Amino acid sequence: MLRLTELKMPLEHSPEELRAAVLKRLELPETDLLQLQIFRRGVDARKPDDLKWIYTLDVRVRQEQQHLRRLKKDRRVSQTPDMRYRFVAQTAEVRSERPVVIGMGPAGMMAGLILAQAGFRPLILERGKIVRERTKDTFALWRKGILTPESNVQFGEGGAGTFSDGKLYSRIQDPKHYGRKVLEEFVKAGAPEEILYVSKPHIGTFRLVSMVESMRAAIEALGGTYRFQSKVADILVDAGANGSRRVRGVALENGETIAEGAARETWEEAEANVRDLQLYTVYNIPYISQVYMLHRAELVEGRFGVGVESLECRLFSEDEIPWDELAFPSVKKTLRHYFEDRRSGHFPLHVEDIRPRS
């Protein structure tokens, strides 16, 4: 493609007039102009009584190299730079290890989308609520003075600025055209197409909410998952022997009881609804600074499936359990207690410590 800069046009003009101006400037025959795309459009306001649009255009032409050679002395004509976004990594595998994105503001949203497009199925944790719910809470503050501390202008899906008119310009240099990728994703999500080329783009008041929803749907369609009202309270880091550090996980403040957390985990791991949860075993594992609490519960209607955090799910009878393959000692010990207690029909609470094997 050829990039043509500084093409001035009157404020009122038709697409045909723009096309004619391009043909004239490039001295092209009509049949050689295959496609015309606006890259940037600003206003030339140097003469206030004679305002003009000033265009930068990308033009697909027949025999491009020939025309470029012919126009090589015209500094306003060059080859269009390659603006395609290139992923730093890509995977086709369904991996059980998933990247975690904290916060669903503009930064988290783009990180989540790029990771999902690259095949990594991100898990996005957001302390506030889903954007429609957040909108209600924000208006409750503005109109009635009722503040919801975790769901407001600042916190919730979409991040700060969700209730603005979405101005998109900045003064940053962008030699690798990353901004273009962001704008293209915004257009796919419902932003007006002109944000791709006007010099001071903005999305428009109240469009942002449906755009945020649309971007969430795109991430989910690619295997990403969300958890709202999940405030990250800590990032858990393991220190290695040689001074290296490795993030092991995050600690959440979910505002839920132990039983509610266990029921949620059961759904996420095994798409199983459970009821009548009874705390059954507690394991202190001081050498990894963790406490495990396992419950007995009733599986509602015997239904289960592969959840967002699992690759395979099955039910086992006692004699089918692959004891040597169980990864966690806490699970093995809990099952041993369960089968023993089931014989007596009495299920006391078991509290034990697990120490490293010497």
Ligand X SMILES: Cc1cc2nc3c(=O)[nH]c(=O)nc-3n(C[C@H](O)[C@H](O)[C@H](O)COP(=O)(O)OP(=O)(O)OC[C@H]3O[C@@H](n4cnc5c(N)ncnc54)[C@H](O)[C@@H]3O)c2cc1C
Structure tokens at 220: 């989910």
**Whole-angstrom distance, CA of residue 117 vs CA of residue 219:** 8
For residues 195 and 147, give the distance between their C-alpha atoms in angstroms, rounded to a whole number: 34
Nearer to ligand X, 232 or 285 (CB): 232
C-alpha distances in Å from residue 69, one per residue of 32, 37, 73, 349 = 15, 21, 9, 84
Q: Residue 213 is which amino acid?
A: E
Give whichever of 58 and 137 is closer to ligand X, judged by the CB atom: 137
From 58-66, 161-169, 312-320, 332-340, span contacting ligand X (CB under 6 A): 161-169
Q: What is the β-pairing status of strands 123-125 and 52-61?
A: unpaired
What are the angstrom distances between the C-alpha of 29 and each of 1, 128, 229? 16, 58, 61
Q: Judge whether 163 and 143 are in contact, CB under 8 Å.
A: no
Name the DSSP letter for residue 324: G
Q: How far is the CB of 104 from ligand X (least distance, A)?
A: 5
Closest distance of CB 197 from ligand X, Å: 18
- Residue 197 in 3-state DSSP? coil
223-252 binders of ligand X (CB under 6 A): 231-232
- Out of 28, 61, 135, 159, the only residue in the binding site for ligand X (CB under 6 A) is 159
Closest residue to ligand X, based on beta-carbon distance: 105
- Residue 107 or 300: the one with the smaller Cβ distance to ligand X is 107
90 binds ligand X (CB under 6 A): no
122 or 159, CB closer to ligand X? Answer: 159
Structure tokens at 81: 């730079």
Pairing, β 100-102 against β 123-125: parallel
Given the complex with ligand X, which of 21 and 153 has the nearer CB atom? 153
Task: Mark residues 163-192: x for contact with ligand X by CB under 6 A, - for none.
Answer: -xxxx-------------------------
Q: Centre a 10 Å sphere on the Cβ of residue 115 and count the other Cβ atoms it contains.
A: 24
Q: How many CB atoms lie within 10 A of CB 172?
A: 7
244-303: which residues touch ligand X (CB under 6 A)?
Answer: none
Contact 291, 284 (CB under 8 A): yes
Helix (H, G, I), strand (E, B) or coil at 316: coil
Nearest to 99 by CA among 79, 124, 76, 80: 124
Q: Does 156 bind ligand X (CB under 6 A)?
A: yes
* Least distance (Å) between residue 326 CB and ligand X: 32
What minimum distance in Å lies between the beta carbon of 307 and ligand X? 22
Q: How far is the CB of 4 from ligand X (least distance, A)?
A: 29
Q: How many residues bind ligand X (CB under 6 A)?
A: 23
Tokens 């089968």 belong to residue:
339
Least Cβ distance, residue 164 to ligand X (angstroms): 3
Rounded least distance, CB 167 to ligand X, Å = 4
95-154 residues in contact with ligand X (CB under 6 A) are: 102-108, 125-128, 153
Nearer to ligand X (CB atom), residue 156 or residue 280 = 156
Least Å distance, CB 141 to ligand X, is 12
CB nearer ligand X, residue 10 or residue 204: 204
Nearer to ligand X, 127 or 181 (CB): 127
Which is nearer to ligand X, 70 or 231 (by Cβ)?
Answer: 231
- Please enumerate in sequence order all residues whose Cβ is within 8 A of that of 243, keeping only pairs 6 or more positions apart, or say none: none
SS3 state at 267: helix
Q: Is 52 in the site for ligand X (CB under 6 A)?
A: no
CB of 339 to ligand X, least distance (A): 40
The residue ranges that bind ligand X (CB under 6 A) are 102-108, 125-128, 153, 155-156, 159-161, 164-167, 231-232
